Copies of this chain bind each other. A is one copy, B any other.
Amino acid sequence: MLYGGDYNPEQWPRDVWKHDMRLLREASINEVTLNVFSWAALQPDEHTYDFSRLDDIVALVSEYGMNIIMATSTGALPAWMSLKYPDAERVDFDGRKHRHGARQNACPNSPTYRHYAAELASRLAERYGSLSNLEAWHISNEYEGICYCPNCARTYRDWLRARYGSVEHLNAVWGTDFWGHTYDSFDHIYPPDRAGDGSYDGPCAVLPAASLDYARFFDDSIIDAYNVEKKAIRRFDAQTPVTTNFMGNFYQYDYQHWAKDIDIAAWDCYPRLGTPASDTAFWHDLIRCLKRKPFLLMEQTPSRMNWMPYNALKRPGQMRQQSWQAIAHGADSVQFFQMRRSRYGCEKFHGAVIDADGTNKTRTFQEVAALGRELAEVGPLIEGSMPKARVAIIFDWSSWRGLRNAIGPSNDLDYLREARAMYAELYRRNIAVDVVGVGADFSAYDLVLAPALYIVSDADAARLNDYVRQGGTLVLTVMSALSDEHDVLHQGFTPAPFHETAGVWAMETDALAPDHTVPLHFADSSDQTDCAVQDASTEQTDYAARVLCDILVSEEGTQVLATYGEGPFYAGKPAITGHRSGEGVCYYAGAFLNGPAMREFLGIVLAEAGIPTVNTNAGVSINTRYTADGEALTFIINDTDEPRTVTMPRSGTDLLAAGTPATLKAGATAQLPPFGVMLLR
């Protein structure tokens, strides 16, 4: 199992390199990611390339037996390129041409940038592609940002022409009769920047269809730029996996769309002070489902970040717990940013395996080394194994963007939060989940949840309706299925594409004032009491609706699971319904739910779908990966900084136990220290 991360020897005198190698080996580090930001050094001017320093670095790390992930260094332009070829730099939302600075500063549609990026990537591949210790190519680094320059405007128009054929068709789809935005020519269309239809500050969109298209166009632009480099690498290296490091909770690029072009999924995981463990797990599951195979945990901090408002230290054991959580959800690597702390630059307060003291004496180094020993021992057993899930949550970039673009109905509407709120309840119940796109094949799942799936095409809706009719269970919520793939409202009784399947009409939607909730009353559901036994906060009176409340009209034959309580004019009216359709069931939650209500609601749904909860004490999570030959590896993790008692969900040997491991029986109890981890075989 890869254990390592970003190493920047370019920033150090050479006498430090060997010192570092010895320390890293002491910590069982077996991989370094090199060459992340060296374009200006590798290509000091338009005609000169100089790989001598990188050659020396590669030679040294190879000599020390390290594997290499080789970055292409294209994440920041050389100053000479920005200044000589301004088309290579971005123009921001405010119309400002950038000059040179920071990183992720290239316009992905710049011919200059593409030309030189491909040239550099191919030279790197030619030079290092046959290294036996080359594990992967890492293109650019943490792609981010949007460009609004003339390159992009031109390319966008071509993209629109290809998509719509005629401007009349575009006018019809975008609904440009709104506010007199009718276009007479593709040439009249520009990126939605502040000088145009991005007139309201930030992400609000005058023409939602246009803004959604620009986001999709920009997906394609970034992916094309990535593929330009990938193709250049493939000229000299046909086999080594090619990837880039995705980021968490990142709406700018649709990673599900990008997934086809990466060989192995990889992401950088930076939970902040107070991030719930389930939020991190949600993104692990999403990343794993991109390729439906194990992924790389490509970056995490060994101790602290620096770019948060309050950069608390990871507590003793916490880095290990977070590493094992990633593995439990499908990671096949543990990698850090960074191997050695920078002396310069805006990340000099960021944690590292080796600190400014250059020693092995720090707590951080010792914890990294201890985890390294563990991984060296059990890693090979885990690699390649995968979780299995009967439940899928649909997470959809178009819905995310559509709701971000929307003006109304509530400032407190947050797609990611609502998706994660539903996930959190499944996480609490230790139910394996796949987080998938709306285009996924759902036939393998017993339950599909579509929280706030605001945008659904007719085709996808048809597939989901079929899924239910053939026996599946589908959960919709308020804000689900309002718009089609162009963010144009479906016409009919909301949720129009699911009106028959859900058996309910959301006649209107109330937005609650900040911090206001509406109580909910559940119909008797005594068979669900087992779902909530371990949490004291589950009194019925706590059930509440948050943010938005549909006023529902339920059709005949629709079961009302919960009604609104005292307060608004719709008290007593249905809030949550269930409806049989064919062989399956479609549930509709007309409001976002607070914790207790989510618990009760999903308790009902899961029971009817026959999906068992694995009860644990609060903060203990259980996940299982299955090896190719069917062996189950069960990860029991204490996500908290307090000791926890855990009941063994199965029998097995704890591979992480100190000394000679004894076999633990199913149903026996064991103690987990703060952030403790067990791995049952």
List A residues at the B interface (Cβ < 8 Å).
8, 10-11, 37-41, 44-45, 73, 75-80, 83, 94-103, 174-185, 188-190, 192, 194-200, 204-209, 273-274, 303-313, 315-316, 341-350, 355-359, 361-364, 406-412, 488-494, 496, 505, 507-514, 551, 569
What's the least CB distance linking A608 to chain B, in Å?
29
A sample of 8 more A-B contacts (CB under 8 A), given A79-B181, A83-B188, A101-B192, is A40-B176, A79-B183, A97-B195, A98-B199, A179-B345, A304-B511, A309-B410, A350-B408
Residues of B within 8 A of A206 (CB): 101-102, 345-346
Residues of B within 8 A of A494 (CB): 356-357
Q: Which of B99, B185, B204 touches A190 (beta carbons < 8 Å)?
A: B99
Closest B residue to A197 using CB positions: B101
Residues of B within 8 A of A349 (CB): 406-409
User: What 3 A-B pairs are tightest by C-beta distance, nearest first?
Assistant: A175-B344, A178-B345, A306-B408
Residues of B within 8 A of A507 (CB): 355, 357, 361-363
Q: Which of B39, B174, B312, B509 touches A180 (beta carbons < 8 Å)?
A: B39
A103 touches B179 (CB 8 A): yes
CA distance A408 to B37 in the complex (A): 22
A99 touches B196 (CB 8 A): yes
Residues of B within 8 A of A316 (CB): 569
Closest B residue to A145 using CB positions: B199
Closest B residue to A508 using CB positions: B313
Copies of this protein, total: 3
Closest B residue to A12 using CB positions: B177
B348 touches A489 (CB 8 A): yes
Q: Which of B8, B364, B569 touches A508 (beta carbons < 8 Å)?
A: B364
A37 touches B345 (CB 8 A): no
Determine which residue in A308, A343, A491, A551 has the highest number of CB atoms from chain B within 10 A of its CB, and name it: A343
What's the least CB distance linking A178 to chain B, in Å?
3
Residues of B within 8 A of A346 (CB): 178, 200, 204-208, 406-407
A195-B98 contact, Cβ under 8 Å, with A356-B496, A362-B507, A494-B357: yes
What's the least CB distance linking A14 to chain B, in Å?
13
A357 touches B505 (CB 8 A): yes
A343 touches B489 (CB 8 A): yes
CA distance A8 to B177 in the complex (A): 9
A177 touches B99 (CB 8 A): no
B182 touches A78 (CB 8 A): yes
What's the least CB distance linking A359 to chain B, in Å?
8
Residues of B within 8 A of A180 (CB): 37-41, 73, 75-78, 103
What's the least CB distance linking A409 to chain B, in Å?
5
Closest B residue to A41 using CB positions: B182
CA distance A147 to B14 in the complex (A): 39
Residues of B within 8 A of A192 (CB): 101
What's the least CB distance linking A501 to chain B, in Å?
17
CA distance A178 to B338 in the complex (A): 13
A175 touches B342 (CB 8 A): yes
Residues of B within 8 A of A344 (CB): 174-178, 207-209, 488-489
B492 touches A357 (CB 8 A): yes
Q: Which of B45, B207, B273 touches A345 (beta carbons < 8 Å)?
A: B207
Residues of B within 8 A of A200 (CB): 102, 346
CA distance A341 to B482 in the complex (A): 13
Residues of B within 8 A of A39 (CB): 180
What's the least CB distance linking A407 to chain B, in Å?
5
Residues of B within 8 A of A78 (CB): 180, 182, 184
A348 touches B208 (CB 8 A): yes
B310 touches A410 (CB 8 A): yes
CA distance A11 to B210 in the complex (A): 16
CA distance A491 to B357 in the complex (A): 6
What's the least CB distance linking A203 to chain B, in Å?
11
What's the least CB distance linking A327 to chain B, in Å?
24
Closest B residue to A553 using CB positions: B361
What's the least CB distance linking A143 to chain B, in Å?
15
CA distance A198 to B92 in the complex (A): 14
Closest B residue to A308 using CB positions: B408
B304 touches A177 (CB 8 A): no
Residues of B within 8 A of A174 (CB): 344
Residues of B within 8 A of A359 (CB): 493
Residues of B within 8 A of A209 (CB): 344
